[in-house]
Amino acid sequence: MGYKFVTVEKKGRIATVRFDRGIDVNPLSIDAMKELTEVAKSFEGDTETSAIILTGNGKNFTVGFDLKDPAATARISAPVMERREMLSVGPKMSKAWEDLQPMTIVAVDGYCIGGGVALSVACDMRVASKGAIFWVPEIRNGMNMSWQSVPRMVNLMGPARTKQLCIVADKISAATAEKWGLIEEVAQTGGAYELALDFAEKIAARPPLPVRMIKQGASVAANALNHAVSYMDLDQYTVAITSEDYAEGINAFLEKRDPEFKGR
């Protein structure tokens, strides 16, 4: 199947999935997220792939959801049921990647922001180039962090660092992300994909069945309560984007100024 924003390359037991919006900062549009979901689902029943590398355009992984996407405006005025369905695209994408049986490795260059962080923590491993920046600014725009990503981040970093990342909402370096446990390894500048490939080659050299069995066991142990503690975040997000604080946060972002929140 042909995709507009995503390419898939397979070599032996390794697959590489690259997504590129044709924009340096590589924002996630609704269409791009739907393609990433379809690509993940395309590996269902694939017994020949042991490792999948997910990466961006080589300059940036992604700056997150594209607030200039017409869909971002459309969902504000949509009826609640339609709005809720429109907002489910990101969570469905993340879940599709989390559910994959092959090992998934995210290779991060440049920015990994918001939805990019949410997507990356749904995968098995994360490596980043030196100089990569991680940021979860949703709260600065009047939003909660959703896509069921909070418990996934807690599994990696613990509750305090998750709160720091999502509430204090400062940008952090690749070195800090590794220290906190958000990522596993830091590569040399521009070397994230090569390091991810090195891991993928080692995984591909292991017997395929135990690879999947060990992954499944570790994932079930870590994620058993994730859905129970996060299934409402889509509805919370649906409510949050109707608030005056959300409108102020988005306007401030687009106008490149600090927002003034009033709890409304």
State the pLDDT at residue 3.
95
> 21 in the Ramachandran plot: left (φ > 0), alpha (ψ -120 to 50) or beta?
alpha
Helix (H, G, I), strand (E, B) or coil at 9: strand
State mean pLDDT over 43-69. Answer: 95
In 3-state terms, what secondary structure has residue 210?
A: helix
CA distance 114 to 135: 6
- 1 has pLDDT over 70: no
How many residues belong to the chain?
264
Tell me how crowded residue 47 is: count the other CB atoms within 10 A of its CB.
12
Tell me: pLDDT of 76 over 80.
no
Query: Which residue has 């996630």 as its token pair?
Result: 28
pLDDT greater at residue 213 or residue 249? 213
Cβ 194 vs Cβ 108: under 8 Å:
no
User: Which CATH number describes the domain made up of 6-188?
Assistant: 3.90.226.10
Helix (H, G, I), strand (E, B) or coil at 19: strand
Whether the CB-CB separation of 200 and 123 falls below 8 Å is answered with no
pLDDT over 70 (residue 245)? yes
Residue-wise pLDDT for 90-149, tens only, equals 999 999 999 999 999 999 999 999 999 999 999 999 999 999 999 999 999 888 899 999
**Whether the Cβ atoms of residue 60 and residue 111 lie closer than 8 Å to each other:** yes
For residues 8-21, average pLDDT: 98
CA 96/CA 98 separation, integer angstroms: 6
pTM above 0.85, yes or no: yes
Ranges of each domain in the chain = 6-188
Average pLDDT estimate for 145-169: 96
